[in-house]
Amino acid sequence: MTSEEWRLVGFTAGMAVLATLLVLPFGVAVAWLLSRRSWPGKTLVETLVSMPLVMPPVVTGLILLQLFGRRGPLGSWLWETFGIEVVFTWKAVVLALSVMALPLLVRAARAAMDGVDGRLEQQARTLGAGEWRVFFTVTLPLAKRGVLAGTLLAFARALGEFGATIMIAGNIPGKTTTLSVAIYNLVQLGEDGKAWRFAAVSAVLAFISVALSERLTRGGRA
């Protein structure tokens, strides 16, 4: 592979890492709320969080485009308040990857927290620990394997994202083009050899991420 091709791989991996880190605190918080709390509208939140898993990614991308476009409610606010343009920039890539990766993180983290014995948390409260301390010293340590497994799955999903990314970020070489977008373009141009090289890199990265996630999940069950 040429240096330009490796730069594309590095850009995609970097965007996936950034997206995963951005959704990690939010995803863990949502997983905890879904696992440990009941409130009106909980089912609606569960459904909304899982929607990107079942909707066509291009539909998710279209929704993001409407929200964060220059005339969209969030996009116009960001532009008028901070002068930040999202659509067709690297920020749009991170946004698309984050939205598509979030459901996997939340589902894995929630499953891990559901497996934590609530009696241990209650014992910590009776000893005077507040909710934050219970979370960071009891719940999270016991659920850490599941959270890490979900983080790896989210990273793998971000690496392979295509539909939402092409809708909101487009295909601007050197600025928004990711591995999946590049593979699509190369196939359209008949450059199958180059496309297969990118596909092989994507498959290896995804395989490593999923394998580590499965290992963590099995270790947590044990």
Place of tokens 């092409």: 166
Rounded CA gap, 181 and 11, in Å?
A: 12
Please report, for the domain that includes residue 52, its CATH number: 1.10.3720.10
- Torsion sign (Cα): 118, 123, 128, 129: negative
Q: Which residue has the tokens 């507040």?
A: 130
Q: Quote the tokens at residue 185.
A: 């373009």
Number of domains in the chain: 1
Q: Which two tokens stand for residue 3?
A: 């240096």
* CA dist., res. 33 & res. 153, Å (int): 20
Instruction: Please tell me the predicted confidence (pLDDT) of residue 215.
Output: 87
Q: Note the pLDDT of residue 37.
A: 85
> What stretches in the chain show pLDDT beneath 70?
219-222
The model scores a pTM over 0.75: yes
pLDDT one-digit tens code per residue, 78-102: 999 999 999 999 999 999 999 999 9
> What is the per-residue pLDDT for 219?
64
Structural domain for 75, as ranges: 3-221
Q: Which alpha helices (DSSP H) does the chain contain, by range?
A: 3-36, 42-54, 57-68, 73-82, 90-114, 118-126, 131-134, 140-160, 163-168, 179-189, 192-221
pLDDT at 109: 94
Predicted pLDDT of residue 129: 86
Contact residues for 133 (Cβ-Cβ < 8 A; gap 6+):
124
